[in-house]
Amino acid sequence: MGRRFANTLTLIQDILNYAPTQILSSEEKDLIWKFRFYLTRDKRGLTKFLKSVTWKDPSEVKQAVEVLLPLWTEIDTDDALELLGPNTVDSRVRSFAVKQLRRADDDVRALLIIAFIHAHALETGAHPISTTTRTSSKI
Whether 36 contacts 49, CB under 8 Å: yes
Q: List % helix, strand, coil for the chain (3-state, nearest 5).
A: 65, 0, 35
pLDDT in tens, 41-61: 999 999 999 999 999 999 999
Q: What is the pTM of this model?
A: 0.78
In this predicted structure, the answer to whether residue 134 has a pLDDT above a threshold of 70 is: no
> Could you tell me the domains of the chain?
24-124 (1.25.40.70)
Q: Could you give the CA distance from residue 125 to residue 54 in angstroms, rounded to a whole number?
A: 35
**Torsion angle defined by CA atoms of residues 119, 125, 127 and 132, in that order, rounded to the nearest 10 degrees:** 170
74-78, 88-92, 118-122: lowest mean pLDDT where? Answer: 118-122
DSSP string, 64-94: IIIIIGGGPPP--HHHHHHHTSTT---HHHH
Residue 1 has what pLDDT? 60
